[in-house]
Amino acid sequence: MACWLVYLLAACGSAPPRPELLPDRQTKRAEFSEQGNEVTLYALGLIDTGYRFGGKNPEAGLDCSGMVSYIYNKAAGVKISGSAADIARKGRQIERSSLRPGDLVFFNTRNAPFSHVGVYIGEERFVHAPSSNGRVRIDQMNANYYEQRFVAARSYFD
């Protein structure tokens, strides 16, 4: 009987498993979202659209934040506006490793954080409206120029 009591007390007194040994219970993002896919397809449809500083529609030309605002409104019904920095402030911060199509990627291209924004389309690529080359295009996030200037990623979707 004494052995049984010692065993029972030892079992009750054992420490709970350490959190790092428990399975990850954080909510993992789905690999894609319907809204994100719509945003991606819409962004791809704007490839070669002309660049215009302050541009907010494809007919007149687009700058980076105008392009993102236009795409999100038309493709997903999400109204966002303002500069790239304004758009970054309103989105939910995510890790670069958690990016999925339709999320937004931000860069420091004018010695100012969040001075440029693009739409992530998968496989380390994004669509954006850079002032250089004067056209909406796809670039690689791991290209030397963008890799050095990457600041953050944001999501507007679950």
pLDDT surpasses 50 at 12: no
Distance between CA atoms of residues 124 and 109, nearest Å: 18
pTM: 0.81
- Top-confidence residue, 158 or 111: 111
- Top-confidence residue, 66 or 158: 66
Task: Point out the residues that are catalytic.
Answer: 64, 116, 128
Q: pLDDT tens, 87-104? A: 999 999 999 999 999 999
pLDDT surpasses 50 at 153: yes
pLDDT surpasses 70 at 7: no
Give the pLDDT confidence score for residue 2 in this predicted structure.
42
Domains of the chain: 32-155 (3.90.1720.10)
> Going by C-beta distance under 8 Å and a sequence separation of 6 or more, which residues neighbour residue 33?
100, 102, 157, 158
